Structure 1
């Protein structure tokens, strides 16, 4: 009999599972080979527990060398369900002391009140947030920018590509933030199936699957 998978959206800011920690080990070895000899690197991470644990579990060898790791609320997941809503920064900073939380948006983890409107789970808000994240990255001086984020946001807002759990893709910027055109990414041919070869090779249209701003949210099953 195949295993039964039950998705529980009511868990607040859940940590990685044992399987997730195991996937980090595989990811770690791949990234070490890919980035061997590189030093001009920065790490940006979504301030949710599972992404923080993924960053520390797969990039510890860089952090130990003094590579900065910075939490950025812009890279959090798309929905406002408990599983995609973060914990107070004070608690996260105590649990993950090697991460710099000083620049996290003070409104975090609010995603439902008017103050947190930029994090609403709507098409307009998500695409605008993704563009803000990309423009912020573009301004950074480092050669390599490692972003530990979430599959939904990366697919629907940022890149238009699916990401399997713990897999990664490598992109270059296409265009300039000095124009009014959206900032886009061009993927390396070597990661079209994911850096671990575990992701689908079929892209999707950015914004597809997201509800429009005027639509009512759909409750989780």
Structure 2
């Protein structure tokens, strides 16, 4: 069977429109909420969804909440599963806008005694500050980012494989809401990541694309955009060659090192 990954970039965040990177874990703007609710209307595969997974940042969780809440198959008894928050899916930088909130704050904001909207079980205490440690897996170094992306892909595949074992003959359809820059690491597609000398993305707010795991690739755990998804976006435009992707990746690495100098100017010591 097949594991389908519906990758979604979060809707417009407050830092996107204000260009203010000092905002700590910003929420969605009014337009971002509108983009998310429109996603709930326009996304064509709600009835297929088996899992909702998100970066633990507020803007990604909120996008998932408004865009996919109460959608999909849910459990066998009809109960909707909560959104699983995976720390590996968080954004790259150490700027305040890309540093998350504590487990306690997220729990208080999203969950109630009546309803558990977000499953925070995979978030260790202090997860939001790990990236500020240069020795951490979450540090924004090229090798660490690639390893984090690999771990995220492996975890997504594990979740999909478990679903297939528990539901023989059925495909897994997993919604994953993350961040523009990190999605390039997650997919290994570097096209559109650098612009005007900065690391960014060509993914629009609330844009979604469909991916599958590359068959026979047990170690690398690579993702590839489905042909249908590619044609919907690009028509007959050919995909980039591996050589072209390697050249883009080299440029990304150079730009990332330059960007880190700017990040340090606005990175502060966080106190919860």
TM above 0.5, one fold? Answer: yes
Map of 1:148-163 to 2, 5 A cutoff?
A: 148-160=177-189, 162-163=202-203
Aligned to 2:207: 167
Deviation at 1:183, TM superposition (A): 1.9
Aligned mate of 1:122, from 137, 141, 144: 141
Root mean square deviation of aligned Cα:
3.0
Q: Which has the higher contact order (CA 8 A, sep 6+)?
A: 2
| Count of aligned pairs | 208
Shift >4 Å, 4+ stretches = 201-208, 211-216
Aligned mate of 1:51, from 60, 85, 93: 60
Aligned to 1:12: 24
Deviation at 1:170, TM superposition (A): 0.5
Contact 1:45/1:55 (8 A) holds in 2: yes
1:69-97 deviation digits (Å, cap 9, x = unpaired): 21111000011100000011100011011
Map of 1:57-136 to 2, 5 A cutoff?
A: 57-62=66-71, 65-97=79-111, 98-110=117-129, 111-114=131-134, 117-136=136-155
User: SS of the counterpart of 2:84?
Assistant: strand
Deviation at 1:30, TM superposition (A): 2.2
CA distance in 2, matches of 1:159, 1:28: 27
Provide the TM-score with structure 1 as the length reference.
0.81
Task: Tell me which protein shows more helix as a share of its residues.
Answer: 2
User: CA 1:67 to 1:124, structure 2 compared with 1: closer, same or farther past 3 Å?
Assistant: same
Q: Does 2:227 correspond to 1:189?
A: yes
User: CA 1:158 to 1:216, structure 2 compared with 1: closer, same or farther past 3 Å?
Assistant: same
Instruction: Select between 56-65 and 85-94 the one with higher mean Cα deviation.
Output: 56-65
User: CA 1:14 to 1:207, structure 2 compared with 1: closer, same or farther past 3 Å?
Assistant: farther
1:28-62 deviation digits (Å, cap 9, x = unpaired): 1122x2233x26x1111111110011010101122
Provide the TM-score with structure 2 as the length reference.
0.67
1:167-196 deviation digits (Å, cap 9, x = unpaired): 1111010045643xx22112123322777x
Aligned to 2:175: 146
User: SS of the counterpart of 1:170?
Assistant: strand
